[in-house]
Structure 1
């Protein structure tokens, strides 16, 4: 109980003043404006999600096409379940229809104001629910070597879904919402108590 209360106080009082939800390998300043009060939330008790554009096989020769697609699908489904298990919201996958949360693998200039930089440094960026144009979109840099021998897509996906739901970075390296990329230190991403407090403040408690 004490650790939970400490996490709650940390979430309330130690919100970082980073400027965006872009996630790089280290603690860095970023470019999409990050609000520290209210980034909105996805409305309704049902949230739809999908992969809108998959990773390109030619950029990831270590996996065949089917394994790469399965790897990406599983990463998103695991990320969704992580958050769904603690809030009063149902998530439904809609592979072929526009969704509230959409994941797009892309490179360099890709339509928004924040081009990727190639391999290294920036890994992904996500737009908050209150963004007028791009709300709920997760853009992942396809120049990165995603996979067990490269970048940890499971961790990055879970982190970015948190942003898509409205969460900012949390100033705690044990938090999933830290701005430090954690690599494979967490082979299986998990929520810290402060992550749970933060997401439940937006979407309510999980109800059986």
Structure 2
């Protein structure tokens, strides 16, 4: 009986190890992270994965009706980029809506422009946004709150992508500001 238990534990540990290795191999491979997409920016202009790959990028997925996490993250991201000054001028920042049904380009423009001139809002056809978020391994789900209203559950980390689109890490919601600035500095300098 004990041998069977040890055998099962070994198989579970090996399976977890394989999954972790496979994930790390994909994100640490130097290949562009996420799939191709065709959406629009907050001005209604076409935007694709090429924009995420042209320069180092900080990408946050959220929605304009978010009560706390999204406005806080956008405000902090803008502040961190300002702290970097000229050293971080090559970093592009994006706010991708996980609620494109409500987040039209006009709404995104008003929302993002109130927070930052450095961050570009991204939205589009709901099916295309869903495919894009899935390709970036972003969790999002509509949660009914009653009376025809809803909120969105979603991944609350900022993705960091190197020039070329390779995964460079994340900044977690609530992460220490000095740590976040240090991560953005490494992203900007490529080190």
In which range does the TM-score fall when normalised by the shorter chain? 0.3 to 0.5
Larger Rg: 2
Task: State the TM-score, normalized to the length of structure 1.
Answer: 0.32
More strand by share: 2
Task: State the TM-score, normalized to the length of structure 2.
Answer: 0.34
